[in-house]
Amino acid sequence: MSSDRPQARPTVQIDNDRVTVTEWRFPPGAETGWHEHGHDYVVVPQTTGKLELETLDGHTFSTLETGVSYCRERGVEHNVVNANDFEFVFIEIEMK
């Protein structure tokens, strides 16, 4: 499942035996690429806007608000796409 979209830029801020904290920066239209989390995780949006979530079952759009966190369990294969015409940023905290 390859794409011509630009790639989101991850910057790992903390990686220890308990957590991995990564800042994700998405230029307009950028994607993470298909991946599956090995750990439960929390996302803390730093931007308000819309993200597209592509899964093997299809895709959905979610509107995220700055500072309003959400959590997900490990194991779902997906691709996250910035559906905005501006940079979108979130912090992802994976619990090991």
Q: For residue 73, what are the domain limits?
A: 9-84
Report yes or no on 75 lying in a domain: yes
The total domain count for the chain is 1
Report yes or no on 39 lying in a domain: yes
Contact call for residues 39 and 65 (beta carbons, < 8 A) = no
Report yes or no on 27 lying in a domain: yes
Report yes or no on 43 lying in a domain: yes
The pLDDT tens digits for 37-56 are: 999 999 999 999 999 999 99
Report yes or no on 1 lying in a domain: no
Name the pTM for this structure: 0.93
| CATH number (domain holding residue 43) | 2.60.120.10
State yes or no: pLDDT of 59 exceeds 80: yes
